Amino acid sequence: MDSIRDRWGELVLAVLVLLVLLPVSPPIQQVPTTDSSVFIYVGSQVLEGGIPYVDVWDHKGPLIYYINALGLWLTGSSRWGVWLLEVLFATVASWLVLNIARKYLGRIAALFAAAAFVYGLQQVLHGGNFTEEYALPLQLGCIACFCAGMQKPQFGLFVLLGFQAALCFLLRPNIIGIPFVAMALLLHRVFIRKETQWAQMLGAAILGGLAVILAVSAYFWSQGAFVAMWDAMLRYNLIYAFLNNGDRLASLGFGFSLLGPTMVTALGGWVLLARQARQRGDHSAGRYWLSALLLFALPLELALTALPSRDYQHYFMSWLPVASLLAGVLATWLLQTWPRVGRLAVGLGALVLALFPLLAVRPALAVFQQAGGLPPVVFSTTPYQASLEYIYSHTAPEDTILFWGNNLSLQWISGRQAPTRLAYQSPLAVAGYVTPEMVSSFLAELQTNSPQLILDTTIRNNPLPALSQPASQIPSLLQPIYAYVAEHYTEAGELYQTEWVVYERLP
């Protein structure tokens, strides 16, 4: 009976996740967000034999580009495949929350934890197809392997822990809070408590992680991209993280305001664990190790997210695994302290948290209902229609076009290639990273591949000066690029709605 009930719970959870992701499906969100468009474009280049970092530059870990390549390949270069992978990863993550909480916190608390996860996911999805989204099942997989392995040591579980930790790192290097704490707790047992029987498990986790890192490094070495990968993934991101000296507490406050009930209940669970920290627990119990992991992982996750001090909604997605399970901890305490009232409060809270996101998907559901199935992906209702029409009418499929700035939304959709590995040029504006050699290489590619059109997308929130800026306002390092554009291109006007300025190549 319990098994049937559990399966029904997982089915309902899968439907909820599907509905939460419906607003970012291709017919509803026709044009991908800034980050997503980069990942899709790089993924498309991978399918054509390109190598990330060398043939097209970006600064995330390599795994995100190959996930997007897989999604495009699955559905014949359609975004549907990418979206289906999003649904799969998010569904598996929700099931892991449910099953981890069910195993260590109880069935009712597990429902509350899963509902907190679904609510939080809807709040920070922000267009979808982000590195943090694909890391969710890996973060939770690390928790599951660690708790099970500490309860009953198994070499394979710790190899899998290290394997998943490395994949998190290869998505985005700062999504390592959970595996870092797990490894620190293992190190404490081996070297502080002198429990040397755990040394083999520590070695297994290191082996699993190193195997992945070395295999990926060897591949990129064979493709001549080893240095470029680590340079973009580590050096650029470190410089970028400290480039903005904004208010890190304000950034954390923004995350808490986004996740609302999920973080409030998570903080309640964390306070309970902190109060219990001095009590001696059964070190062979998975519940003890889950508590220890969550206690240390939450502040570390908060610190890693606050480091860049930027208010991008998807940054806070990496809080969800720890936060949802901590919400389950609070639910368990309520159920144990006030059984009747707690059962009602937890059940009602889970219902509200799970159903609240559905209010936001009603417009998307209406579109599918009107179509009587899968709606077509059309751009006439988007601000990009006029821009696409201009691109199609003024270029041939074999022409290259350059989107000047950091908006690559139409590069893949238009079917036109970028003329340079810097398909978007944000790194040229990052002091401490940009070099004269980088500028010279970019200019040489621009001269060799000579784009038919240049679309200046720097109308707002862009560190690069617009192409129309006077020379006195352009950094001296970048002036050769602006001089080349001024000499070989002419301004053709402003595109409707996007307000991008078009430059056409002179005959």
Percent of the chain residues topping a pLDDT of 70? 98
Answer with the residue of higher pLDDT: 444 or 338: 444
Q: Which residue is listed with tokens 């060799």? A: 448
Q: What is the pLDDT of residues 27-58, one digit of tens each?
A: 999 999 999 999 999 999 999 999 999 999 99
Instruction: Locate 487 and state its tokens.
Output: 């000499």
Residue 461 has pLDDT above 80, yes or no: no
Averaged pLDDT score across all residues of the chain: 93
Q: Is the pLDDT confidence value at 377 over 70? A: yes
- Provide the residue type at 288 as one letter: Y
Give residue 358's pLDDT band: very low, low, confident or very high (50, 70, 90).
confident
Q: Is the pLDDT of residue 1 over 60?
A: no
Q: What pLDDT is recorded for position 21?
A: 96
Q: What is the pLDDT of residues 268-277, one digit of tens each?
A: 999 999 998 8
Predicted confidence (pLDDT) per residue in 226-236, tens digit: 999 999 999 99
Q: Is the pLDDT of residue 189 over 70?
A: yes
Structural domain spans, the chain: 2-237+245-364, 385-505
Q: Decide if 68 contacts 77 (C-beta within 8 A).
A: no
Helices 177-187 and 131-151, packing angle to 10 deg: 20
What's the 3-state SS for 222-249? HCCCHHHHHHHHHHHHHHHHCCCCCCHH
